[in-house]
Amino acid sequence: MVPYLRVGVFASTHGIKGEISVWPTVDDPARFKALSRVFFETRNGMKEEEVESVRFHKEMVLVKLRGLETIDDVLPYKGLSLYVAREDAVKLPEGRYYIADLLQCRAVTDDGRELGKVRDVLETGANDVLIIRGEKDGREKDLLIPYIESCVLSVDIEAGIITVHMLDGLEDL
């Protein structure tokens, strides 16, 4: 499991007093209110910053970081992703997983066939869809598996394996 989870991207500065405008990548931006620290992935590793305040403006989250008082203080972080440490993340209920933990898991069928690895997860209105990068006829191909109970039978994050049942027609796309 990854030690940090992405919660947003530093889109732009807001004003001249060091406030940053963050595009949230979480399903509930209100969770930013509970954050006391965030991390930025820099060339030298993860850099921790303390959150001073959070407020909302349109679909953006405005974050003020303690000790960064001017626009020049925050500009080096512009364009970088914001992360939270796993221990600071919201605890998910049984059977729910962070997308970051699903990525690179091996997908196998309930009859033992290897399909490939999870490359991404599409979040649609109806259900999520696993994008499995595998091989077919000697070529790399993406396979789309709906994340529904009748397809995704089990997820073992520790072992890095997702067991799926292939419904008729899924491999024909």
Report the predicted TM-score, pTM, of the whole model to 2 decimal places. Answer: 0.78
Q: Are 147 and 126 a contacting pair, CB within 8 Å?
A: no
Q: Which two tokens stand for residue 109?
A: 């069928």
Q: How would you classify residue 75: left for phi > 0, otherwise alpha for psi between -120 and 50, otherwise beta? A: alpha
Q: Which domains does the chain have, with CATH numbers?
A: 4-88 (2.40.30.60), 99-172 (2.30.30.240)
pLDDT, one tens digit per residue, over 46-99 is 999 999 999 999 999 999 999 999 999 999 999 999 999 999 988 888 888 999
| Residue 172 pLDDT exceeds 70 | no
Higher pLDDT, 173 or 142: 142
Element (H, E) at 123: strand 114-123
